Amino acid sequence: MKRGLPGALRARGIQPSAQRLAVAEYVLDTLDHPSADQVWARVKRRVPMISRATVYNTLNLFVEKGLLRQLVLAEGRIVFDPHVAPHHHFVDDETGAILDVPWEALDVRKVESLEGIDVREYQVVLRGRAPRSRRA
Amino acid sequence: MKRGLPGALRARGIQPSAQRLAVAEYVLDTLDHPSADQVWARVKRRVPMISRATVYNTLNLFVEKGLLRQLVLAEGRIVFDPHVAPHHHFVDDETGAILDVPWEALDVRKVESLEGIDVREYQVVLRGRAPRSRRA
DNA sequence: CTAGGTATTGGACGCTGTCTAAACCTGAAC
DNA sequence: GTTCAGGTTTAGACAGCGTCCAATACCTAG
């Protein structure tokens, strides 16, 4: 059931606007894991007057409404991932690139055995080197 | 075989100094996961004249020499962990506190099956809520 | 059309991490 | 003890990132 970008936003209780659509158009559809400023740079190509604050606000709104996930994997940068279903992440030591690892590729056991803590979500974070062909 | 803090530094090829010992005394022995500025604040209590740059340099040196691990788990902050053996981490959503989870508490399978990527290290990062008693 | 709420803007702000140049210490050789 | 070279420390400047604010522009319901 396609309803277009404006509908997708409305379905999450987000009032569409030109700026929000421009951000959504890029960030909801990318395979990258861009930082907020990378999103800003990208969106400015189409909407040159958009301000940094708007992009930051919009991204945070999308996270709050479940359209994006916020990841804290790389040094000092928060990145955004439109792939909201559970999956793991691999960080390339050399390039800093972040690759998605399918949930089924790994098998984590005994999570339920952690006594006294209430685990909302978890993921495996792997670090190492990826061959050129696999890099994002 | 105890050899004291100066020996522990020398054993890693680090020239001891009053400032480095003051940093080491706190950070190598804590159960917390302090940020660099937290280390600075703490060490200043004993060595009031120590500069921020020295603390940052010292922490980076300790990481380079394997005395500390650098973690990128919480929003926008790099924290340091004197517990260098492999283990997992749990982040309390509410307080931001980071707890160590013993390596044996979880069981990750199929890591070796990830084709074409060379995994140097991995860990499970869990998020949720911890009861007050377990908080660091 | 108007009123009220919402969104956007640009700038200021604070925090974190890095860099620099100068001062300083240290310890090895004499 | 003196000297010297190298490593260490220092204060401050700097840059990047994320947040906040007050003012303005925009939408939408009525």
Per-residue pLDDT tens digits for A69-85: 988 876 666 788 888 89
Q: Is the CB of A76 under 7 A from strand D?
A: yes
For residue B17, give how far its alpha carbon lies from the nearest alpha carbon of chain A (Å).
29
Q: Residue B78 is encoded by which pair of tokens?
A: 């790099």
What letter does residue A11 receive in the DSSP assignment?
H
Cβ proximity of B94 and B129 under 8 Å: yes
State how far the Cα of B51 lies from the Cα of A113, in Å rounded to an integer: 44
Q: Which residues pair with B109 in a beta bridge?
A: A107
Cβ proximity of B122 and B111 under 8 Å: yes
Per-residue pLDDT at A97: 83
Residues A9-36 pLDDT 10s: 999 999 999 999 999 999 999 988 999 9
CB contact (8 A) between residue A130 and residue B122 = no
A132 has pLDDT over 70: no
Residues 6+ apart with CB under 8 A from A94: A129
Mean pLDDT of B84-93: 88
What letter does residue A4 receive in the DSSP assignment?
H
CA→C1' distance for B80 and C25 (Å)? 28
Residues B57-84 pLDDT 10s: 999 999 999 999 988 876 666 788 888 8
A59 has pLDDT over 90: yes
CA→C1' distance for A79 and D10 (Å)? 35
CA→C1' distance for A94 and C10 (Å)? 36
A56 has pLDDT over 70: yes
Residues 6+ apart with CB under 8 A from A25: A5, A46
For residue A4, give how far its alpha carbon lies from the nearest alpha carbon of chain B (Å).
32
- A56-88 burial, b at 16+ Cβ within 10 Å, e below that, comes to eebbebbbeeebbbebbbbeebbbbbbeeeebb
Q: Is the CB of A49 under 7 A from strand D?
A: no
Of the candidates B106, B122, B125, the beta carbon closest to that of A109 is on B106
Which protein residue has its CA closest to C1' of D26? A17
Interface of B with A in 67-96 (CB under 8 A): 72-76, 78, 90, 93
Which carries the bigger pLDDT value, residue A40 or residue B93? Answer: A40
Question: How many C-beta atoms lie closer than 10 Å to residue B24's C-beta?
Answer: 22
The values of phi and psi at residue B43, to 5°, are -70, -30
State how far the Cα of A100 lies from the Cα of A114, in Å rounded to an integer: 26
Instruction: Give the percent of chain A with pLDDT over 70.
Output: 91
State how far the Cα of B62 lies from the Cα of B16, in Å rounded to an integer: 12
B111 class by beta-carbon count within 10 Å (0-12 exposed, 13-18 middle, 19+ buried): middle
